[in-house]
Amino acid sequence: MTGPPDDDLDRLFAALPAEGPSGSDLRLRRRLHVERRRWWLALAAAGHITTLTLAVLLSAQVFAALTANGTLDILALAIAEPDLARGNLRSFSTAVGAGMPYRYSALLAADLAVLILTARMLLHATVLPAPQNGEGSG
């Protein structure tokens, strides 16, 4: 095996931290990282607020439809009298299925998925680099 002797390696590794970024470099990198993240945060916040508003509207649409066609009452009856619902499962399921606003429900489910995504983006956007190494995460 060839290479530098162990003493030389020890000296080399001991010298490494001294070649790392200086304090002002760290601060600059951190500042750049924050600048970049600020745009992500703005984008995620705008997306989150939009999806949150859509969640309100779609939820209102779903429940308005459920109330208007009486499906909410059927669900309430099934919850209040579970033995009746079990005994007439087919009647209950077809009645609920016939009155379910599928389009709005699907849109609400999709909106919830985007809501979770934007919430994760919001949290991720605020991740700052560790002060000791100055490396940004994206």
- Binding pattern for the stretch 17-36 against another protein, x by CB under 8 A and - elsewhere: -------------xx--xx-
| 134 lies in the binding site for another protein (CB under 8 A) | no
Q: How far is the CB of 19 from another protein (least distance, A)?
A: 27
Closest CA to 67 of 100, 41, 39, 21: 100
| 80 lies in the binding site for another protein (CB under 8 A) | yes
Q: How many CB atoms lie within 10 A of CB 24?
A: 8
**What is the rounded distance in angstroms from the CA atom of residue 4 to the CA atom of residue 12?**
10
* DSSP letters for 31-72: HHHHHHHHHHHHHHHHHHHHHHHHHHHHHHHHHHHHHHTTHH
Q: Which is nearer to another protein, 12 or 60 (CB)?
A: 60
Stretch of residues binding another protein (CB under 8 A), selected from 8-16, 17-25, 81-89: 81-89
- Give me the residues that bind another protein (CB under 8 A), please: 30-31, 34-35, 37-38, 41, 48, 52-53, 55-68, 70-74, 77, 80-81, 84, 87-88, 90-92, 94-95, 97-99, 108, 112, 115, 119, 122-123, 126-128
